[in-house]
Structure 1
Amino acid sequence: MQETARKRLQQAERVTVLTGAGISAESGVPTFRGAGGLWEGFRPEELATPEAYARDPEKVWRWYAWRYQQVMEAEPNEAHYLLARLEEEKGNGFLLVTQNVDGLHHRAGSRRLLELHGSITRARCERCGHRQPLPPPDEFEPPPYCERCGSRMRPDVVWFGEFLDADLLARAERAFMTSEVALVIGTSAVVEPAASLGRLAKAAGAYLIEINPEATPLTPLADLSLRAGAAAGLRWLLE
Structure 2
Amino acid sequence: MNITPNIVILTGAGISAESGLETFRGSDGTWNKYKVEDVATPEGFARSPDLVNNFYNKRRHDAANARPNKAHLALAKLEKNFPHSFLLVTQNVDDLHERAGSKNVLHMHGTLNHVLCLTCHKRAEWKGDVTAESICPHCHAKASLRPDIVWFGEIPFYMEKIEKALSQADIFAAIGTSGLVYPAAGFVGLARQAGAECFEINLATNPATYELFDEVISGPATKTAPDFVDNLIAKYSQVTD
Report Cα offsets for 1:69-122 as digits up to 9, x if no partner.
Answer: 111110111111111111111111100000000111111121111100000111
Q: Which residue of 2 aligns with 1:4?
A: none
* Superposed displacement of residue 142, structure 1: 2.0
> For the residues of structure 1 that align with 2:81 and 2:155, how far apart are their CA atoms?
33
> For the residues of structure 1 that align with 2:34 and 2:161, how far apart are their CA atoms?
33
Q: For 1:1-239, what aligned pairs fall within 5 Å after superposition? A: 11-135=3-127, 137=128, 140=129, 142-143=131-132, 144-151=134-141, 152-165=144-157, 168-216=158-206, 217-239=208-230
Percent identity over paired residues: 40
Report Cα offsets for 1:208-237 as digits up to 9, x if no partner.
Answer: 011012222322121110011212112212
Q: Residue type of the partner of 1:182? A: F
Q: Which residue of 1 aligns with 2:236?
A: none
Report Cα offsets for 1:31-60 as digits up to 9, x if no partner.
Answer: 001312542132100111101110110111
CA separation of 1:11/1:22 partners in 2, compared to 1, >3 Å: closer, same or farther? farther
Please tell me whether the aligned partners of residues 53 and 130 of structure 2 are also in contact (alpha carbons under 8 angstroms).
no
Q: Give the TM-score, by structure 1 length.
A: 0.89
Please tell me whether the aligned partners of residues 83 and 110 of structure 1 are also in contact (alpha carbons under 8 angstroms).
yes
* Superposed displacement of residue 206, structure 1: 0.4
Q: Give the TM-score, by structure 2 length.
A: 0.89
Please tell me whether the aligned partners of residues 71 and 102 of structure 1 are also in contact (alpha carbons under 8 angstroms).
yes
The root-mean-square deviation of aligned C-alpha atoms, in Å, is 1.6
Please tell me whether the aligned partners of residues 198 and 218 of structure 1 are also in contact (alpha carbons under 8 angstroms).
no
Which residues of structure 2 form unaligned runs of 5+? 231-241
Which residues of structure 1 form unaligned runs of 5+? 1-9
* Superposed displacement of residue 141, structure 1: 5.1
Please tell me whether the aligned partners of residues 12 and 180 of structure 1 are also in contact (alpha carbons under 8 angstroms).
no
Please tell me whether the aligned partners of residues 125 and 145 of structure 1 are also in contact (alpha carbons under 8 angstroms).
no
